[in-house]
Amino acid sequence: MKRDRHGKGKILATDEIQLLFSEGLACHRDRCLFAVALFSAARINEVCTLLTADIYDSNLRVRSHLTLRKANTKGKLATRTIPIISDLRSMLTTYLPEAGYEYLFPGRYGYGHITSDSAARILRKACAKVGIEGASTHSFRRTALTQMSDTGIPLKVIAEVSGHRNLSELQEYLEVRPAQVLGAVASLSILFPVSEVGKRGFDAFTPNPTLTAVDAPKLSPDGK
């Protein structure tokens, strides 16, 4: 968990995401900014530097995919295209009048693009408002990738979304939850030998065939 800008940004629970978007983030631009981060699993700098033309076509309609250009990705390894799901499409459609001429999320006074530091300040303020601790701008990427993993999406497919070239690096993003560990161990119950189930309890009450009346303990008339 992130504390004083140290450590990893926490994985956000569903109720925390709902709280952030309904009460924490102050305006539609901020909600749209972090919705893109969540539903594309992109790094915050990749989101901040998105071009308007990579979201909307010449008819000002939301494209089927958003494009994260190679020059703006970490390590400048490759351009990625991420499908835009319907919920995000709806937000981007509503956001269109606020989009910048060049950048999707313009900077102050309409120049350049919003910076990663500005996005981080917006999130810290929103988290403080609703009482969420340990979150950072990276939480949206970690949350998205962990959710994909939880639902059984193969790591190779997740890596196509995240842009990781090394699966071991991708695995560092994914969080193992206590419920998952419990479920993993509980799944081993199927391996328990059927013949052993209840054996101890049965044997404890089975008379010893070699025990004679003489060997048996003497009981008093009242059974003690």
User: Would you list the DSSP string of 133-185?
Assistant: -S--THHHHHHHHHHHHHTT--HHHHHHHH--S-HHHHHTT----HHHHHHHH
Looking at residue 31, its pLDDT comes to 97
DSSP E strands, the chain: 65-68, 80-83
Q: What residue ranges define each of the domains in the chain, with the CATH number in brackets? A: 14-140 (1.10.443.10)
Judge whether 16 and 136 are in contact, CB under 8 Å: no
Which are the contacts of 39, defined by CB distance < 8 A and separation ≥ 6?
84, 85, 87, 88, 144
Looking at residue 195, its pLDDT comes to 59
Output the pTM of the full model: 0.73
Question: pLDDT tens, 163-192?
Answer: 777 666 676 666 666 666 676 677 777 777
Environment class of 29 (CB within 10 Å of its CB; exposed 0-12, middle 13-18, buried 19+):
middle
User: Distance (Å, rounded) from C-alpha 50 to C-alpha 188?
Assistant: 47
User: Distance (Å, rounded) from C-alpha 173 to C-alpha 11?
Assistant: 9
Looking at residue 177, its pLDDT comes to 64
In which residue ranges of the chain is pLDDT below 70? 1-7, 70-77, 166-169, 171-181, 183-184, 194-224
